[in-house]
Amino acid sequence: MHQDSLCVDSTSERNRVQWFIRSGTSAHLALSGAPGGRRCGCNVPVTTAEGNCLSLSHRLCMTMTLEHWEEARRLIEGKNFAHFATSMPDGSPQVSPVWIDHEGELVLVNTAEGRLKLRNVTKRPKVAISIADQDNPYNKVLIRGTVVEITKDGAEDHIDKMAMKYRGLPKYPYRQPGISRVLIKIRPTSISL
């Protein structure tokens, strides 16, 4: 079994592990479960009948499920700002507050040509996004994913849609002549709450 992880096969064990996580305890616990062929989102062997895995190093390991996507979608559809993390050429993080949207199960970020985040994702497509509920910032979702498409198609209409959502304006008021809008489409690879 992976030294930072454990798999649990009963509700009582899962509750005990969740108590350790909530209390901030970082001890490694030895619970039931043995290495096997199936793996969770943290690439940890899962052999229990329920297929549950908790990774203490990741606080609570959750692979993308419909349940998690629904919570992510709820926060995306709300008037909540997101923080979009990309990687600089030297590997250091770059984070931008952004308006956020989705198209099916793809997450959308609208930006302008020439922006740093666009240059970053063009060369390094792995990204992370955090979204907190504006009414309760402790209610949040963290999305890791890969940029699967960068397009100008529909980007101008989309920024107007975002201006209506976030500012109540029918048209995006900060357009700059000669600078096109671009849609960054991200496929989530993991979602955690």
Query: Both 94 and 125 in a single domain?
Result: yes
- What are the DSSP E strand ranges found in 30-152? 38-39, 45-46, 52-55, 82-87, 93-98, 101-103, 106-112, 126-133, 136-151
**Inter-residue contact 82 to 99 (CB < 8 Å):** yes
Position 86, amino acid: T
Q: What is the pLDDT of residue 157?
A: 97
Q: What is the pLDDT of residue 67?
A: 59
Query: Both 40 and 88 in a single domain?
Result: no
Q: What is the pLDDT of residue 161?
A: 98
Each residue of 41-81: pLDDT tens digit? 444 444 444 444 444 433 344 444 445 899 999 999 999 99
Query: Both 47 and 81 in a single domain?
Result: no
- Of 18, 41, 58, the residue that ends a domain is 58
| Predicted TM-score (pTM) above 0.85 | no
Domain residues for 45?
Answer: 5-58
CATH code, 165: 2.30.110.10
Query: Both 75 and 48 in a single domain?
Result: no
C-alpha 77/C-alpha 71 separation (Å) is 10
With cut-offs at 50, 70 and 90, classify the pLDDT of residue 184: very high
Query: Both 129 and 174 in a single domain?
Result: yes
Each residue of 138-171: pLDDT tens digit? 999 999 999 999 999 999 999 999 999 999 999 9
Domain count, the chain: 2
Each residue of 76-135: pLDDT tens digit? 999 999 999 999 999 999 999 999 999 999 999 999 999 999 999 999 999 999 999 999
Query: Both 111 and 153 in a single domain?
Result: yes
